[in-house]
Structure 1
Amino acid sequence: MNDRQLVLRDDHDGVTTLTLNRPDKLNALTVGMFRELRQHIQDLREDDTVSCVIVRGAGRCFSAGHDLADIATGEEVPSRGWHSETLRMLEKLPKPVVAAVHGHCYTGALEVALAADFIVAADDARFGDTHAKWALTPVWGMSQRLPRRVGAATAKRLMFTAAMFDADEAVRIGLAEYAVPAAEFENHIAELGRQIAANSGFSHAANKQLIDVTDGGQLDAGLQYEVMESPGRGPDYQERIAAFTKKGS
């Protein structure tokens, strides 16, 4: 029996790293892995010590995608839509979530990455949606999140061709925010996490909620929502301003 943790959690100075941990299988996604991911998400939702979440993969890549062997033998999924629901829970965490992608990121793995607030890619990253290659259709969110990220026409091209593309192309089409040389990736992701965690978790949660609720809507409605629904000043605002003014005096 394999008692290895399939998703590792590491906490450091307000940054939590969740690492997909089947490196011998290129972190191919299974029900067991999703079950552990879901539990971590539930724990993180109530953890006020965490200000930033990084999702990444162990070993050679982020993830090669949904484990085809599991699909072929028939997965025992707790309920219909359970995978999609888990990724929606990740997406709705009241904390910034960053997908740090190196190596392979295909199909189901891309659906996981798309549930993050944004993707940072190592320059060796390769992406693709191969549902059509295997006569499958997305049920984890690809048809909804990919066009919202890159536009409907580009999403259709990627889905129809099942083509693989590199980090530069991912940046060009707006899938990834930017690419980092692979040799610098570890240090860059750590510094990015520290930079995000140094800012107010109250502001992060508020900004994320304001953007997510109004995304795609009319500007005037969004402006009104911001005025009426913005939670205002956080409990740490006086402390932060005092520290700044003291530093400048």
Structure 2
Amino acid sequence: MALVTRNDIDGIAILSLNRPEALNALSPSLFVELQAHVKTLAEQQEEIGCVILRGEGRSFSAGNDLKAMQAGEQAPHPLFQVETVEMIEDLPQPVIAEVQGHCYTGALELVLACDLMICSESAKFADTHGKWALTPLWGMSQRLPRRIGVLNAKEMMFTGRVVGGAEAFEIGLVNKCVADSRLSDEALKLARSIVENSWHTLRADKMLVNKGQDYGLKDGLEFERKNSPGRASGEEERLSGFKKS
């Protein structure tokens, strides 16, 4: 059975973590499959304009698979998981995280690499590194403060408390919180509204915003002037073939 599945709909790739019986715990084997999908998507800029990352079953993911760690299961190399997370962040296409149920620790680090996030009312976000005497390696200390501010990030990290879906929206962790029954429809609706626009512009916007975060305002403005690709020409100029009239 595939641990990560892919389904394409009108220029949108939906990647699903597929270990529902284990709350989609992030085993090394799951990461191997996830990275393979991400590598393929990076080469499909003209076929895929947006990506949705979700989990099958009642949870997005309970986090790193501690049982697999205890059993000695290992990734291909020590930085394989963080490499995969960074590859998701670096995908040219916008990536939407669709979160229901548990989204703990490593799973939270995973969705923080996504550009946008929609959660359901059942969503439960937490950083539980402190409960296991572990420390962040997949980006928690950098991405969480940038997403929700240093004060909120420190509280989540220091206490390990659970943040529900409604509060996640209030503190800016997610774009929207919706009823569980509407979650997948709302994520797909957002993805469709994205792929209706120029994919050339989408790729440029993502690159400029993401890389621009490395600079202060003045240097960021200079970075934009020097690196904005400008208006598309020729074949690139077309809008998505999936744009509705």
Give TM-score, length-normalised by structure 2. Answer: 0.93
User: 2:176: which partner in 1?
Assistant: 178
Counterpart of 1:75, as a letter, is E
Structure 1 residues 56 and 238: alpha-carbon distance in aligned structure 2, compared to 1, 3 A threshold: closer
**Structure number with bigger Rg:** 1
Contact 2:198 2:237 in 1 (8 A): no
Which shifted more, 95-104 or 70-79? 70-79
1:45-90, Cα deviation, whole Å (9 max, x unpaired): 0112000000000011111111110122233121121110110001
SS of the residue aligned with 1:10?
strand
Q: CA deviation at 1:238?
A: 5.5
State the Cα distance separating 1:209 from its structure 2 match: 0.8
Q: Mark the CA change 1:134 to 1:231 in structure 2 (over 3 Å): closer, same or farther.
A: same
Give yes or no for contact 2:14–2:52 (8 Å, CA) kept in 1: yes
Q: Map 1:3-42 onto structure 2 (within 5 A).
A: 4-42=1-39
Maintained 8 Å contact 2:29/2:75: no
1:102 aligns to what? 100
Is 2:145 the partner of 1:113? no
2: distance between equivalents of 1:155 and 1:213? 22
Residue 36 of structure 1 aligns with an amino acid whose one-letter code is E
Aligned residue runs from structure 1 range 13-92, under 5 A: 13-47=10-44, 48-92=46-90
Map residues 85-164 of structure 1 onto 2, 5 A cutoff: 85-164=83-162
How many percent of aligned residue pairs carry the same amino acid? 45
Amino acid at match of 2:117: I
Query: Which 10-residue stretch deviates more, 153-162 or 73-82?
Result: 73-82
CA distance, structure 1, for counterparts of residue 216 and residue 226 of structure 2: 16
1:62-119 per-position Cα deviation (integer Å, ceiling 9, x unaligned) = 1111111012223312112111011000100001001010111111111111110121
Pairwise CA distance, 1:237: 7.0
On the 8 A contact 2:32/2:75 being kept in 1, the answer is no
Q: Which residues of structure 1 form unaligned runs of 5+?
A: none
- Runs of 4 or more off by more than 6 Å in structure 1? none
Structure 2 unaligned runs (5+)?
none
> Which SS does the other structure have where 1:105 is aligned?
strand
User: TM (normalized to structure 1)?
Assistant: 0.91
Task: Tell whether the 8 Å contact from 2:42 to 2:91 is kept in structure 1 after alignment.
Answer: yes
* 8 A contact 2:96–2:187 mirrored in 1: no
How many residues matched? Answer: 239
- Give the root-mean-square deviation of aligned CA atoms: 1.6
Deviation at residue 216 of structure 1 after TM alignment: 5.2
Q: Residue type of the partner of 1:221?
A: D
Amino acid at match of 1:40: H
